Structure 1
């Protein structure tokens, strides 16, 4: 008889104020804390996908990223350079994807991690790709997986039975309701309970829970919008509120002297309040926006510093940094490195792409007419196909996700549509504004505005107005002169 699948669970002990139905503290081991910190590894596009799948019929809003992700979903394949372009945006990949296999509850079972594909004519073409939807130079689909021996894969040297993913050794942790994580100790528990006004512990109850995937995804929702995510997840079972409702006003990053221009845009603004309605742009600006979907939450938080307040993400991020004595080595902050195939012509400088590893092929004697890839030098070096172009591309700038020579319209809340399928007349009619009340301004954006846009996309529902508002020229109000019959002098009105 086949064994039934048993859902992985992790243990969590809650210390509860029963009268207020509130979590005071939680006690957990490595397994739960690793899952908690794994939220920071998630690309923002993956977070949107996971939450939408979790809630199914309900709409989950994460700033403007929900609209940006939906734009990729809704856009016809004809508007992308290749099928792989759409795939890598809907299912973003990262350099740490192999780590997901090590979490007891894996919320991101990434498809195609560290997989390589070739065409059936591999022996003569000698080309491969990370995507099975890529096409070889011979025109065939590269849908045949080619193996890489375990010895050639990037291994986690710290892996053993004692360590977790983020924490070395076996520890017990205490977690406050607002997700401040610390190593458990009697002194810290006494101090925390005292600061919360719970000197008499007899009034507190305990609940031992086994947490599964459903509860973890609900907790992921709550870290964006709630200051008490443990209470909301496990006691009140509340759903996520719109992120934009709880964000504070952004302070735009100031442009530095001689900062390079990234892109030029035509901005359509409303004269009354100079609010951005939408922009008309080329494909490079859309590539920049779509790249944001692959950026991990941790990197976005590093970029913004303390400029925003958003749920309990800041506490979670600081807790991981504060556990420096027992944590493993992490990638340096203030930069984000994505796999090489995310490289685009116009790249946000803080987002870099990995240099592709060099692989060679060798004949696998265990399987007839079969080859494997290795990092050890052999006679045949492999040629990798850029999945965004379906042919060998040696350009350092890289190709883009969307078709070249295409114009796009991007709304203030980051709904992206090709201009060919969204006419100017339709856009004007949608806003129900007189043409005399609209104005077109040409602006140029640099690194500062790109960073403002990335930040605003996470915490507001009007990303373009928030990011580019300081670039919009405020025209002085027109003055009219009339005659005042009482004073018999001209009267100036604005």
Structure 2
């Protein structure tokens, strides 16, 4: 990126094999908070780009498969040559401000800011030191809050912890971003080399429609999708769908992470990114963040203005946004459980299932109804799970078997 790394001081309990907490200056925390301004397509792109640089699982839920399927989809299927580019390198409404950060993950091209800019505060009113817990709660260093936190963590003597100073560049922040999406101990997993995060449906708690916020901004018309289900395992093999469903999936990549968390967080099983999101709410009391606009930019970042409204199933657009589309014309698509999108179904799809040992008699065709709540559930699952459709199957309404 042409920028100097920033530093993080971590305190490790060697017996517990755990990072108890870390200490950072505001420049590190500002980059951490900028995660929320990243469009989900950028999150997927960063992971794909850094495959060779890390031994950890590079998949970000089902977003990685969705992103790679757009990369592999022929240009002839898009409305124009700019649509594919706009999905693979999504614009950010916060780019101008994030360019002032020491390390800008939001940029599609390397941006080197001046040394004087690198020394300035961007989100905060002044230079401040922070304590960051293993689960990414961010707390200003104050005597009373520090003592309370250390007592809560069970740390009696800081001197007994191993102190390490780490340099963070683009690669390290990218790794921390990925861990923050899938675990509640992202610092420990990153610093001490955690195992690959599990992304199977049996290990990830998916919300039901009852405990997600109702965020309808205007009435939406429900749409039908046909699912191929492996009856013996209750697993979605794929979906056969028209343009509307694929347009909705493609729109995921344009949504800033902070907006996605606003729509999908239910606090039942928080990850590091959820805790960080809540920390910003606590810091937005007028004492630390520069303005209410900064707070809103982080907690509810807007889509970049160049994106037209391609779906009515997600409340992510301003009401004044004009209708548009990524795809050129109506067609039939196959969407895998991992949200890989391919064009036109064929017998080769069924043959593929047979190759996997799934007989035709074990395949059931089910029609489900998709509305706003179902769309939000799929969005939530796509952030952490590689079986996004299966995770949401029990929550789909008005499901009926066609065979």
TM-score, structure 2 as length reference: 0.84
Q: How far has the Cα of 1:19 moved from its partner?
A: 4.4
Map 1:12-411 to 2 at 5 A: 12-56=8-52, 60-111=58-109, 164-234=121-191, 236-238=192-194, 240-244=196-200, 246-253=203-210, 260-272=220-232, 275-306=235-266, 309=269, 311-325=271-285, 326-327=288-289, 328-329=291-292, 330-331=295-296, 337-353=302-318, 396-398=322-324, 400-411=325-336
Q: Aligned pair in 2 of structure 1 residues 436, 162: CA closer, same or farther (>3 Å)?
A: closer
- What per-residue deviation string (whole Å, max 9, x for no partner) do you get for residues 322-348 of structure 1? 101222323379966323432244333
1:305-359: CA deviation from partner (whole Å, max 9, x where unpaired): 3255353111111111110122232337996632343224433341105868xxx
Cα shift readout 1:117-149 (whole Å, capped 9, x = no counterpart): xxxxxxxxxxxxxxxxxxxxxxxxxxxxxxxxx
The equivalent residue for 1:384 is: none
Structure 1 residues 233, 438: CA separation in 2 closer, same or farther (over 3 Å shift)? Answer: closer
Q: Which has the larger radius of gyration?
A: 1
Cα separation, partners in 2 of 1:269 and 1:416, compared to 1, 3 Å? same
Higher relative contact order (CA 8 A, sep 6+): 2
Q: CA deviation at 1:92?
A: 0.9
Q: Give the CA deviation at 1:253.
A: 4.5
- Judging changes above 3 Å, is the alpha-carbon distance between structure 1 residues 41 and 340 closer, same or farther for their aligned structure 2 residues? closer
Does the C-alpha gap of structure 1 residues 97 and 426 become closer, same or farther in structure 2, counting only changes over 3 Å? same
2:310 & 2:265 partners in 1: Cα distance? 27
Contact 1:42–1:296, Cα closer than 8 Å, also in 2: yes
- Change in Cα spacing, 1:463 to 1:109, as seen in structure 2 (3 Å) is same
Q: What per-residue deviation string (whole Å, max 9, x for no partner) do you get for residues 54-111 of structure 1? A: 2227651222111111110111112212221110111111211112211111223235
- Uncovered stretches (5+) of structure 2, i.e. residues with no partner: none
- CA pair 98-240 structure 1, distance change in 2 beyond 3 A: farther
Partner Cα distance (1:439, 1:6) in 2:
54
Q: CA deviation at 1:35?
A: 0.9
The CA distance in 1 between the partners of 2:342 and 2:149, in whole Å, is 51
Partners of 1:216 and 1:345 in 2: CA distance: 31
- The residue aligned with 1:429 is 351
Give the 3 Å change call, closer, same or farther, for CA 21–278 of structure 1 in structure 2: closer
Equivalences, count? 383
Verify the 8 A CA contact 2:102 2:118 in the aligned structure 1: no
